[in-house]
Chains A and B, each alone.
Chain A
Amino acid sequence: MAMSISQESELAPPVRLANALEGLGRAVRHIADVRAGADLLLEALDAAASMRGRETGNKKASDGIQKVADFMKKALDELQSTGRELEAAGVLNGAQQRFEENQPWNLQVPLVSHDGALVPYAWKRQIAGQAAASAFDRARLALKAFAEQKRRFFPGLGPDVVTESNSNPASETPKTDGSNQAATSSPVLSDVLRRIQSEMPGMVVTQYARLAWMNNRLGSNSRFDSSTGVLSLSANSSLSLRKGMALTSQLAGGEAPPSLRSSEKVAVLEVTIPGILRAIISLLPPGSVYPDAIAVFSPDERGGHIQAWGVSQHKLHQQLSERAVMVLYQLLQQDRSSTLELLLQWLYSYRLLFTKQCIECKHVMAYDAPSGLLFPPLVRPARIPSAAQNSKESQNKKTDETNADNEVLAYHLGCAPKDL
């Protein structure tokens, strides 16, 4: 390497680091050469000693020794020059003292260059500091989440630190049992479902108790239903054969199914738009209308991963699930009691996912730049009621809008306006 000293000092620390490491590597090789040369010298001397008795190869012996001596000299010279280069680059200078100033822990001097020594250690310190800060943040958030969940699951246990933000007066008491919500304005699951069924033909919502849902999923792992079309009625009938614990809702009315056991509360909703998608919503606490998690799948997917926290096999449905979770949390923040209904209305707006063109670019499929894949328009605006509006009023408005298919706005991922 024929770089002058002044050029060295203008390089960035990582480059200098690399140069220094390379120089040191060369030095190591030269040292190895010297060692090998020493071995060769011994060999040559040995050969010379054994040949001296014969007196014929006299010249050869000394030639051999001369050759090896030259080789060693060359290696030593190169080692010396490499050493001088490294010294000029500051690799061997003062590293010990500097190091002991910064890290008084009796560690070995790291073999790095001049200012490069500070760089990896500075980086390491910075990363450690960031890790500590993020660990603190995470611990704080985890503590907050635990407190929230303790309040929900063990309502009678200990003082409530976080006050209930729900507008429902009945749930000011620590009990959030669904059966207590009779006399107040709080939403009841069966009412909500009945409204949904009547407003949205073609979308079927099936209710399950949580254990029944788990059994469903595990049992259907090995079956593959290839012959039937995805009609809502046939799906219901095939499910009712299993275990008797599946609760199915009728299309016409949302009255409680006769097989509902009083202790079983509805915890999982399976929302199917035939041929388009199937969404699994988990309710917490069971029997209420507060959705907890949502995931979207293809109607033909089978397997144990079809849960409210599962991930679909198809990229399209993975994207839909992500958006669904975003919308869920936005709606939860605004008004918890109308979340389920608004969420189901939003899902209903996807019924023309594969046939409706994007408003912006007038095509059905478009490239999504980051992933390089084609998607149909999968952004649908979620109607989030503003704080000043009464939730009932905005609901009426929405029913008028969703009556007309053409009013549904659809965007591709890349075409959507930024505020959605």
Chain B
Amino acid sequence: MPVKWLFHWQPNVGSQVSSQTLNDVFKRIDSLHATKSTRWQITASQYRPNVRDQALPVDCARELLGVTFTEAPDKIFFILRQEHMVVEADATMQAIMERLQVYRNRLTVLFEGFQYELGDFRVKAGRAVLAPVENLRGIIMEVEYMPVSSLEQSRAAVLEFMELWQEGVILGQFVALELNFTDFSLSDHYCWQHTALQYVSLMAFFLSQQRT
């Protein structure tokens, strides 16, 4: 599967993240003669166990971070950070969880935007919003380099692409999300589980930013 790299926008000191930034990003991508193809949406949710009786000890995972992709509609991925696991399940798992009321959805972060094709690169640019309130938490970009499936091989290509693309941008820059995939027993060959881990980390990052 082609490797995807995630970047989030870091504004320079003094400027704020706003939806104007996202429009600027779209314009910049358009100016490179990319072809706009589809909308995309990724939902990342945080689940906490539903504890009815406070006295009983909790014998399950304290926190489930789930993520679904419109590109892979029949799957849902769960990350368990404490246990360092990435779990892949069928999409009906969500319905099951709701029926059983074992875990409840506490927070949801929605990533959505437009997808562009630029030669062998596929770029998704969009924003991250907290679902019920719809307030903007950040601007993100996902760069996918189609010919390569190995993380190490794609590093130089993708990072140089971002450098070239960001030449001359002054209000801030896109910072790459660097993750230690081996912690979660994921190999160098990229697949959906890597993507799930990346988006969940991004969600955690945005959530943590609000508290500061």
Contact = CB atoms under 8 A, between A and B. Distances in A.
Contacts of A376: 156-157
Interface stretch (A10-18, A63-71, A309-317): A309-317
B160 A316 contact: no
Contacts of B149: 230, 275, 298-300
A317 B2 CA distance: 14
Contacts of A317: 147
B150 A275 contact: yes
B121 interface: yes
A229 B164 contact: no
Given A229-B189, A372-B33, A364 B146 contact: no
A329 interface: no
Interface in B128-171: 146-150, 152-154, 156-157, 160-161, 164
Nearest to B187: A229
A374 interface: yes
A365 B150 contact: no
B57 interface: no
B153 A374 contact: no
B191 A226 contact: yes
A316 B120 contact: yes
B118 A373 contact: yes
B10 to A, nearest CB: 22
A300 B161 CA distance: 22
B157 A365 contact: yes
Contacts of B160: 363-365, 374
Nearest to A364: B156
Contact of A374 (B2, B121, B148, B154): B121
Contacts of B187: 229
A371 interface: yes
Nearest to B145: A354
Contacts of A192: none
Contacts of A316: 120, 147
A367 interface: yes
Interface in A341-356: 354-355
A355 B153 contact: yes
Contact of B164 (A275, A298, A355, A367): A367
Interface residues of B, number: 25
B1 interface: yes
A276 interface: yes
Contacts of B14: none
A313 B120 CA distance: 9
Contact of A364 (B119, B121, B157): B157
Contacts of A228: 189
Contacts of A56: none
A354 B146 contact: no
Contacts of B148: 275, 298, 354
Nearest to B158: A365
Given A316-B120, A374-B121, A376-B157, A230 B189 contact: yes
B24 interface: no
A383 to B, nearest CB: 25
Residue picked from B1, B118, B120, most chain A C-beta under 10 Å: B120
B98 interface: no
B146 A314 contact: yes
B188 interface: yes
A6 interface: no
B191 A374 contact: no
Contacts of A363: 160
Contact of A315 (B120, B152, B156, B188): B120
13 contacts: A226-B1, A275-B153, A300-B1, A316-B147, A354-B156, A364-B156, A364-B157, A365-B157, A365-B161, A367-B164, A373-B120, A374-B160, A376-B156
Interface of B: 1-2, 32-33, 118-121, 146-150, 152-154, 156-157, 160-161, 164, 187-189, 191
Closest 9 CB pairs of A and B: A373-B119, A229-B189, A365-B160, A364-B156, A275-B150, A354-B153, A314-B147, A298-B147, A316-B147
